[in-house]
Structure 1
Amino acid sequence: MVRRVPIPSPEKTGDTMNGPGKQIRSRPVGYASDMRVVIVGATGNSGTALLRRLRTEPDVEAIGIARRAPENNGPYAGLEWHSVDVGRDDAPRRLVRIFDGADAVVNLAWQIQPSHDARRLYRTNVLGSRTVFQAALRAGVATLVQASSVGVYAPGPKWAYVKETWLRTGIPESSYSRHKAMVERMLDEIESDHPTLRVVRIRPGLIFQRDAGTEIGRYFAGPLVPVRLLRLGWVPLLPANPGLRLQAVHADDVADAYLRVLRADVRGAFNIAAEPVLDPATLAREFHGIPVPVPGFALQGAAALSWWLRLQPVDRGWVKLALKAPLMCCDRAAGELGWRPETDAVSALREVVAGLAERAGRPESPPLRPGTSRSGLLRGRRDP
């Protein structure tokens, strides 16, 4: 059962959609007119790629929001920036002011760590998303785009592909998956209560790019990953399980999907992933290793114990999600958006592994800042 998180209407919170500046704007978003887009969570993996993409669009004005503002350099240079923690009590008031006059809000804000602090993750991911949605409604924004995930889906097939209509109850053992499902339930309520608001959900697979190497290592890898061997492109032994079939996509291709959504008159959800599917055989070929069959319960048990000991940051829920998440069909994105990935999944994987081995990142961005990752022990106690 997915917990319902109420979305108060503007009338119930003291605002009115009929007052000055509160009416949903009907001006179409398209090539012929300038577009003002506010990106919440603009300094992370997807946000950085989206900023790079939007900088090539002369008719798009991007405004960045992040908990920790970046340095004024690289893809973050020359933008209007606001430092806002979406989980804080002052966030609703501040976000309404920032959103005022925007054509679209893209919500990418999400917290992966500290995984041992469930309350903090819920505060940012679920309550923070609710705050963003409420502020967009009160500011009269015409388009709301939410970064969802394959994790929103209920367990599904590993040898077939599901469409966007697949059941969205998540994987119960994964807090990440539960939170994604809860956020989409909130969007369902908003769409029902505010039919003039254009709501779009992007559901990607694993998102890879070189600049995210340090961040992904910090969030998922831990000190047990053989970084020295990765530099050589070699992992001698790889766990193999029939459920370990996952989809990935390059961050730049995800950014292209966001831009196409902003430019098109579309609603609803879009699966975003590249071929081929990443499975143990593919990984073994790529890293010149030997696949070792491991049952699912052993993978989950090893993750649970090492996470409890704070040796690495991935809890049992992430393994369960990897084993149970379905493969996604991306036909809707191709047909309605004209979206097709320019980078295949194996090339995207190579790029992020190189970034992990080289501790690559963006020095201007706090989430992507390169350097030596802290140990699993410290990661469990401090916010990365």
Structure 2
Amino acid sequence: MRIAVTGATGNVGTALLRRLAVEPDVEVIGIARRCPAPDAGPPYDGVRWHAADLGDPSCLHPLAERLAGVDAVVHLAWQVQPGHQRARLRQTNLNGSRHVLNAMLAADVPKLVHASSVGTYAPGPKDRRVDEDWPATGVGRSGYSVDKAAVEAMLVGAERDYPVLRVTRLRTAVVLQHDAGAEITRYFLGRFAPVSLLRSGRLPLVPRHRRLRIQVVHADDAAEAYLRALRSDRTGAFNIAAEPVLDGPLVAAELGGWAAPLPLALLRLLNRVAWRGRLVPADEGWLEMGAAVPLMDCSRAERELGWRPRRDARDALRELLAGIAVGAGTASPPMRPARRAA
């Protein structure tokens, strides 16, 4: 089975390459804007790399040529920074996804497994789980969410217009792993994050609010879901998340701190001021999305893909925090370790 993976150098891509490396019948083509060096080592060795800026229309013809003879594409490529350049992000995320789809159609690739997200969902409950029928119209104040919903709508339309195309959409929770520590710090926390406190294993204060409840999943479990989707004939959307749900009290207990009740209006204000002052890279849309999206019921993935997470959410969180503390990373450009880890 020949698989092409876009965004193969990122957080989920790295975990998926690890998983595919032990599948004897799988050949992988990695597609990335910045490819790993030839001496990058596992899991990037053994992959045939193709450099492409998916947001550039000129990528379409060479990408279609590279996809000739491929059995399936896993589309992971997604840009979240620089957050102050919304048009640039949409060029990569919306136009890039359209270019991947058009290249697949030109190359007669029959199957697409798309990296969707819990962020695709419209605002929903935090006291019960919703299945894949919950409206996938996004959270209006989050650019990431709006774009994820737009790409899903495009893919649903493509399935309708091209019946030979089979599309599986994995709506994953936040994906965590130790090796993503430096990347997540760069993309979301910024250089002023209190990483030194995490090195001691303690964070004195964690915000608590009834809407600040999120699901996560370990990257290795997410990779397993992608593999099962590739080997399955099932299509449509699948929720992918681990238990338990993370909230202020649970995170505070993990870090030996205090879960302080804070109003969302204050958190929004602090986030807005910090982002506009370029103190943090993540705009308030990420907070809005985290507070708005529903909790997901993953029964369909277990029932139809045979998928269940092997790591619980606490383990995934502990791994990530340990990775942030040491600036952990890998040999791929987006996953490069922080300098302090040297």
Question: Same fold by TM-score, threshold 0.5 exceeded?
Answer: yes
Question: How far apart in 2 are the matches of 1:205 and 1:224?
Answer: 26
Question: How far apart in 2 are the matches of 1:372 and 1:173?
Answer: 34
Question: How far apart in 2 are the matches of 1:271 and 1:56?
Answer: 25
Cα drift, residue 323 of structure 1: 0.6
- Kindly report the root-mean-square deviation, in angstroms, between the aligned alpha carbons of the 2 structures: 0.9
- Aligned equivalent of 1:51, options 12, 17, 21: 17
1:365 alignment partner in structure 2: 332
2:272 match: secondary structure: helix
**2:283 is the counterpart of 1:321:** no
2:165 alignment partner in structure 1: 197
**Superposition pairs for residues 1-384 of structure 1, below 5 Å?**
35-72=1-38, 73-362=41-330, 364-372=331-339
Cα drift, residue 140 of structure 1: 0.4
Cα drift, residue 236 of structure 1: 0.4
Provide the TM-score with structure 2 as the length reference.
0.98
Question: How far apart in 2 are the matches of 1:300 and 1:126?
Answer: 27
1:275 match: secondary structure: coil
Cα drift, residue 89 of structure 1: 2.5
Cα drift, residue 164 of structure 1: 0.6
Question: How far apart in 1 are the matches of 2:258 and 2:247?
Answer: 13
Question: How far apart in 2 are the matches of 1:134 and 1:161?
Answer: 35
Question: Which letter maps to 2:32?
Answer: A
Cα drift, residue 224 of structure 1: 3.2
Q: In the TM superposition, what whole-angstrom CA distance separates every residue of 1:253-301 from its partner, at most 9, and x where no partner exists?
A: 0000000011111000110000000011101110111111111111111
Question: How far apart in 2 are the matches of 1:71 and 1:292?
Answer: 45
1:276 match: secondary structure: coil
Moved over 6 A (4+): none
The answer to whether the Cα contact below 8 Å between 1:71 and 1:77 also exists between their aligned partners in 2 is no
Question: What is the number of residues matched between the two proteins?
Answer: 338
Where in structure 1 are there 5+ consecutive unaligned residues? Answer: 1-34, 374-384
Question: How far apart in 2 are the matches of 1:149 and 1:71?
Answer: 29
1:86 match: secondary structure: coil
Cα drift, residue 190 of structure 1: 0.3
Cα drift, residue 372 of structure 1: 3.6
2:245 match: secondary structure: strand
State the percentage of identical aligned residues. Answer: 54
Question: Which letter maps to 1:254?
Answer: A
Question: Which letter maps to 1:367?
Answer: P
Q: Which has the larger radius of gyration?
A: 1
Question: How far apart in 2 are the matches of 1:241 and 1:100?
Answer: 50
The answer to whether the Cα contact below 8 Å between 1:38 and 1:65 also exists between their aligned partners in 2 is yes
Question: How far apart in 1 are the matches of 2:135 and 2:94?
Answer: 20
Question: How far apart in 1 are the matches of 2:288 and 2:297?
Answer: 21
The answer to whether the Cα contact below 8 Å between 1:106 and 1:145 also exists between their aligned partners in 2 is yes
Question: How far apart in 2 are the matches of 1:159 and 1:309?
Answer: 35
Question: How far apart in 2 are the matches of 1:298 and 1:133?
Answer: 41
Where in structure 2 are there 5+ consecutive unaligned residues? Answer: none
The answer to whether the Cα contact below 8 Å between 2:57 and 2:99 also exists between their aligned partners in 1 is no
2:114 match: secondary structure: strand
Question: Which letter maps to 2:326?
Answer: E
Question: How far apart in 1 are the matches of 2:313 and 2:37?
Answer: 31
The answer to whether the Cα contact below 8 Å between 1:115 and 1:313 also exists between their aligned partners in 2 is yes
Q: In the TM superposition, what whole-angstrom CA distance separates every residue of 1:159-218 from its partner, at most 9, and x where no partner exists?
A: 100101110110000000000000001001101101121100011101001111000000
